[in-house]
Structure 1
Amino acid sequence: MKKGYLIAYFLILTIGIILSMDTAFIKQADAISLEAVSWVHNSNFLLSFLDGIGFLASKTGIISILALAAILLALLYKHILQPLLIVLAVYLGDLLNKALKSFFGRERPLEPLHIEEGFSFPSGHAMVGVIFYGFLIYLLAGKIASSAVKRWLYAAVSILMLLIGMSRVVTNAHFLSDVIGGYFIGLICLILVIAVYDKLNEFLSAARSKKSGVSV
């Protein structure tokens, strides 16, 4: 499926979430999801585990891993494009998330496990996490020849994002609809970032080929 169709698909889903946010159906679904995961609070191990997973998509967690990722990508690609673009993607994604939170002004669930700043929709952990980890895995996969290893990487990051989303609901930081909306908006941004990267990479490759006298 072409990137444009994927963007349109996730955009429609996002609009659907936004338009139905204040409906009885979504409110009931959010309440049921909060109740469904409340049993985790009875297990200190599971609660600590999911809280730790959530840290991986927190501001501190992402900044720390982003610094390491930028160094790793610079070493792998020997070029500034990849580390620069992933830093820009995360930074702009965070700005967009803050703008959307302010625009929608949705209040967070009551009694969160930690003190949370800002409004609730969309989840920043889900949205920025998808952008960062999704683009990082895409770039790392570009240096891996094995299709099987690539599939395992994509599966691993998908599981990670599901756990991060679950952690936000379990800790009462977000409603389920906040997390799902964050996923959809994050995927739209991720597809756009990948499209920009592919075009820039193609342009730079053509420029290098032209400079070396190789026809393209």
Structure 2
Amino acid sequence: MDINRKSSLETYTIIASFIVLVFAMLGVCLHIGFVHKMDLAALNWFNRMFKAPAMNYNGGLFNDVMTLAASYGDAFSFVLLAVAGAVILFVKRYYIVSLWILATVGFGGILGILLKEIFQRSRPYDHLLVDTGFSFPSGHSLSSTLIAMTLLRVVIPKFSNKALRYTAYVMIAVLWVSILFSRLYIHAHFLTDVLGGTALGILWVLGMKYIGHLITPFLQKLPLLKKSKIYTLCTK
């Protein structure tokens, strides 16, 4: 895939994510009937397909996978992953991209918390007691998207080994989708919560990617960062 096609795909992704985020936000904020019915329809579908939600490892392989994704796909896990990745890059003297990862994940997470306080949406009536706080946007969806998009659009494209690169793509995509699905499977969120968190994460990473690309030349002039190795945020 050449640069122009990647640029076009990224542009379409930004537009689609923006539309989804605005749709979800307006639907939740204005209590639009169609959006409410869509959320209830999705919730009822999961009820019919998977019965009562369960967070345990005694309900078969699929339930085990969903429990695992729901248990370890939270914001804290991804913050630790982001910090670990940033530390590794920092040690390798990729100072600027290391700071970029921390800023992208950190400020993206803070934005999600602020939006939760603004919308103050209650969770589904039958959510598990382990789920606390407000529902929109989904914190798991946002945090997993921040990390997944960072890996998919910034880190993995740098892998020189083609087989390793595509294997990593598939593994991250499967893990990401599993976490998103698990939020609906255990009734922790409405569909629009997951859509909103995912769209916000995609927009945030791609926006920060663009900002990082613009300010990198200026950051490289700073005394503390001028020895940083170059790690372009735009993919090849």
Q: TM-score range by the shorter chain?
A: 0.7 to 0.9
What is the CA-CA distance between 1:189 and the residue it aligns to? 0.2
2:35 counterpart letter in structure 1:
I
Partner residue of 1:212? none
Partner residue of 1:139? 154
* Deviation string, structure 1 residues 41-86 (Cα, Å, up to 9, x no partner): 48723333212112343133113322322233335x5222222211
Partner residue of 1:107? 122
1:169 counterpart letter in structure 2:
L
1:114·1:171 contact (CA, 8 Å) conserved in 2?
no
1:168 to 173, 180, 183: 183
1:48 counterpart letter in structure 2:
D
2-structure distance, mates of 1:93, 1:57 = 16
Partner residue of 2:24? 17
SS state of the match for residue 60, structure 1?
A: helix
Tell me which moved more, 4-13 or 169-178. Answer: 4-13
2:24 counterpart letter in structure 1:
I
Change (3 A) 1:153 1:164: same
Structure 2: where are the runs of 5+ without partners?
1-7, 227-236
Partner residue of 2:35? 26
Tell me which moved more, 9-18 or 34-43. Answer: 34-43
Structure 1: where are the runs of 5+ without partners?
209-216
1:123·1:174 contact (CA, 8 Å) conserved in 2?
yes
Q: Does 1:64 align with 2:80?
A: yes
Identity of aligned residues (%): 23
What is the CA-CA distance between 1:188 and the residue it aligns to? 0.6
Instruction: State the aligned residue count.
Output: 208
Q: If the length of structure 1 is used for normalisation, what is the TM-score?
A: 0.81
2:112 to 97, 105, 112: 97
2-structure distance, mates of 1:176, 1:36 = 11
Tell me which moved more, 96-105 or 113-122. Answer: 113-122
2-structure distance, mates of 1:205, 1:53 = 39
